[in-house]
DNA sequence: CCTATATATATCGGCAACCGTCATATGATG
DNA sequence: CATCATATGACGGTTGCCGATATATATAGG
């Protein structure tokens, strides 16, 4: 039950499952597409993350099938995964926007310390 | 020289330095403000990350000062840190937007696999 | 026939980042 | 004198990520 923020590979996994269920290898390809080729997820990361996410109840095995003699497990985003993804997305968005504001030179939302100096 | 994506605490650190230089303890407070109280950065995370970021040349020690008998080191965002933050921000923004699109039910940008099925 | 490539799942060991805790020190407040 | 806020720092444990490796089938090429 770690409340720790999702790391990027995990975030991409949930995102890749957000539109439709996919199997492991398909997730690798989808993440490649989402990230415009910048993230090539390794199987070591993938199956470790899938196990973890299954255990946390964020995803579930929708079905198992055999296509062209090759076995597949098809994973789907569970409702807990959907709300977690939504929450993480909102949180990340606010961090990203704050960073952009500061990079643009504008001082924003974050309160300045009370005993502030010159 | 790790090309690995920044994790959130690190991203928050750079963001907190993006408007003006700050000392360690001030960074903890600023991150608390940026995250609306949701992230209480621990000193163990802070000083480890500061050492790492210094070594990577993303931040630098601007000056050391003594205020009310307490020693401070004031850290500033280096230019490499500024461009790294900009790049990470842009990348994260695109992931966040893709996740939002999918959560909203619209299929988007990511290409569907060539040999796609029904 | 053999080999390489694409598809597909899975395990193992190592590393780096993060976190909780403890230690240290000063100044202000009660 | 104790406690809290300020302030820096070290240490050890946990965990997520990654590279490498193993297994297996289908297809294409030499």
Which range, of A74-78, A110-114, B60-64, B106-110, averages the lowest pLDDT?
A110-114
Judge if the beta carbon of B104 is closer than 7 A to nucleic acid strand D: no
pLDDT digits (tens, 9 = 90+) for A58-104: 999 999 999 888 889 999 999 999 999 999 999 999 999 999 999 99
**Quick one: B68 exposed, middle or buried, by C-beta within 10 A (0-12, 13-18, 19+)?**
exposed
Which range, of A41-45, A72-76, A92-96, A112-116, averages the lowest pLDDT?
A112-116
Report how far residue A7's alpha carbon sits from residue A20's, in angstroms, rounded to the nearest whole number: 21
Q: Tokens at residue A51, please?
A: 């196990």
Q: What pLDDT does B116 receive?
A: 37
Q: How many CB atoms lie within 10 A of CB B107?
A: 10
Q: What pLDDT does A94 receive?
A: 94
Mean pLDDT, chain B, whole residue set: 86
Nearest nucleotide from residue B45 CA, by C1' atom: C18
What percent of chain A shows pLDDT beyond 70? 86
Distance in Å from D9's C1' to A93's CA comes to 33
- Helix, strand or coil, per DSSP, at residue A78: coil
Q: Tokens at residue B96, please?
A: 């966040």
Higher pLDDT, A2 or B3: B3
Report how far residue B103's alpha carbon sits from residue A15's, in angstroms, rounded to the nearest whole number: 8
Indicate yes or no: CB of A99 within 8 angstroms of CB of B8: no
In chain B, residues with a C-beta closer than 8 Å to the C-beta of A110 are: 30, 33-34
Q: What pLDDT does B106 receive?
A: 60
Q: Are B85 and B10 in contact (CB under 8 A)?
A: no
CA distance, residue B55 to nearest chain A CA (Å): 22
Nearest nucleotide from residue B47 CA, by C1' atom: D9
Indicate yes or no: CB of A18 within 8 angstroms of CB of B93: no
Mean pLDDT, chain A, whole residue set: 86
Per CATH, which fold does A8-103 belong to?
Arc Repressor Mutant, subunit A (1.10.10)
Domain boundaries, chain A: 8-103
Distance in Å from D12's C1' to B48's CA comes to 14
Per CATH, which fold does B8-101 belong to?
Arc Repressor Mutant, subunit A (1.10.10)
């Amino acid at each position: 039950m770690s409340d720790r923020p999702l790391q990027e590979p995990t975030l991409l996994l949930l995102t890749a499952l957000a539109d439709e269920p996919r199997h492991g290898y398909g997730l690798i390809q989808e993440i490649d597409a989402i990230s415009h080729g910048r993230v090539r997820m390794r199987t070591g990361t993938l199956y470790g993350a899938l196990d973890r996410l299954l255990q946390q109840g964020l995803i579930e095995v929708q079905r198992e099938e055999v296509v062209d003699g090759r076995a597949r497990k098809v994973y789907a985003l569970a409702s807990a995964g959907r709300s977690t993804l939504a929450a993480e997305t909102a949180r990340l968005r606010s961090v990203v926007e704050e960073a952009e504001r500061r990079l643009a030179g504008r001082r924003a939302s974050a309160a300045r310390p009370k005993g502030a100096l010159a």
